[in-house]
């Protein structure tokens, strides 16, 4: 069951080379200058907000207002399937522009806001925060690689630990360029169960986002590739940490011990960002908010300054 939105709607905007498009948003709680909202950016790219709905706990338990949104090309926002493969259109700058429009729509520049990005959403957030956007108070980069090539090295190390038959299916698919076979998809699922979400039964919210990715792979296929294990899109050489020294707000890094985003690809954020803290969840992979939700939410809420969360952290210690 999804969160109860206090406000929901779309932001209409003219997108170069695409015309009139809309970005869906849903607000939980009532943001104010004394209680600024946390903007939540989903991963994928193209996964939609559904798998992040558990983060509504940040409002129900800690009183933090939230702004969910679906990025262009997925979820309840405008889909552009005719743009599949158009790497000049689907760019990081496109999504930074969308994010800036969202912030201006809610008139948050003066009152301020926090930002949380998970996976690709964190990549986007890191690149955007390096431009020092007006109004940003704190930044959370969750399960977000600072470098796609370094993430690939980490993933190769995890693949090396898979059963031999699974490894061979992945290698054959890459060799043949055939990523549609059942064997390849089954092999990917073995990896996902270890390094994307380790829960025995995946929550419906995650299943919804995965279905949406499968039904419209336009953005994911163009920017990333056929799966988490094979990067063919225009993010293949992306390295966001090169500008991360310009990030001038307090930043929290989160990843899981079993995360497909291994430490090798998180460390560059840690070394480049001046005011930074890094927490790793011992029992999590890529979906710590689903795998260890209470600790995950408490860590974020405490970082954002929630007195209740800070007391819980002190009590837990």
Nearest residue to 117 via CA among 15, 63, 49, 62: 49
Q: Of the listed 50, 56, 119, 284, which one is catalytic?
A: 119
The reply to whether 77 belongs to the active site is no
- Cβ atoms of 275 and 252 closer than 8 Å: no
* Residue 180 token pair: 């549609």
CA distance 256 to 317: 20
Beta strands across the sheet bearing 113-118: 7-15, 19-28, 66-69, 38-41, 113-118, 136-142, 250-256, 276-281
Inter-helix orientation angle 182-195/164-176, to 10°: 120
Q: Of the listed 50, 286, 289, 306, which one is catalytic?
A: 286
Q: Of the listed 147, 259, 285, 306, which one is catalytic?
A: 259
Provide φ and ψ at 312, rounded to 5°. -65, -40
Nearest residue to 221 via CA among 85, 98, 111, 51: 85
What ranges make up the beta strands (E) of the chain?
Answer: 7-15, 19-28, 38-41, 66-69, 113-118, 136-142, 250-256, 276-281
The reply to whether 286 belongs to the active site is yes
- Cβ atoms of 11 and 25 closer than 8 Å: yes
Please report how many Cα atoms fall inside a 13 Å half-sphere around the Cα of residue 268, on the Cβ side: 21
Beta bridge partners of 40: 68, 116
The reply to whether 6 belongs to the active site is no
What positions carry a catalytic annotation? 119, 259, 286
């Amino acid at each position: 069951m999804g969160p109860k939105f206090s406000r929901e709607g779309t932001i209409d905007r003219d997108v170069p080379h695409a015309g009139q498009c809309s970005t869906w948003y849903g607000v939980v709680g009532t943001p104010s200058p004394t209680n600024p909202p946390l903007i939540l950016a989903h991963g994928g790219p193209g996964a939609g907000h559904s798998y992040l709905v558990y983060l509504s706990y940040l409002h129900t338990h800690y009183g933090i207002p939230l702004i969910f949104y679906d990025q262009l090309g997925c979820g309840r926002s405008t889909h552009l399937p005719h743009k599949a493969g158009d790497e000049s259109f689907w760019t990081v700058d496109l999504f930074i522009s969308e994010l800036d429009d969202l912030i201006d729509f809610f008139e948050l520049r003066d009152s301020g806001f926090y930002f949380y990005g998970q996976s690709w959403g964190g990549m986007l957030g890191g690149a955007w925060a390096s431009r020092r956007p007006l109004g940003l108070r704190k930044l959370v980069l969750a399960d977000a690689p600072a470098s796609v090539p370094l993430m690939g090295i980490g993933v190769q190390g995890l693949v090396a630990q898979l059963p031999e038959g699974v490894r061979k299916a992945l290698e054959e698919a890459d060799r043949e360029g055939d990523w549609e076979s059942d064997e390849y998809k089954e092999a990917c699922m073995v990896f996902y169960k270890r390094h994307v979400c380790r829960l025995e039964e995946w929550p419906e919210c995650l299943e919804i986002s995965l279905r949406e990715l499968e039904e419209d792979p336009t953005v994911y296929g163009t920017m990333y590739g056929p799966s988490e294990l094979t990067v063919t899109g225009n993010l293949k050489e992306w390295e966001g940490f090169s500008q991360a020294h310009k990030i001038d707000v307090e930043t929290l890094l989160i990843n899981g011990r079993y995360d497909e985003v291994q430490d090798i690809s998180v460390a560059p954020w840690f070394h480049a960002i001046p005011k930074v803290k890094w927490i790793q969840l011992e029992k999590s992979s890529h979906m710590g908010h689903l795998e260890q939700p209470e600790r995950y939410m408490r860590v974020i809420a405490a970082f954002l300054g929630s007195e209740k969360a800070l007391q819980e952290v002190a009590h837990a210690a």
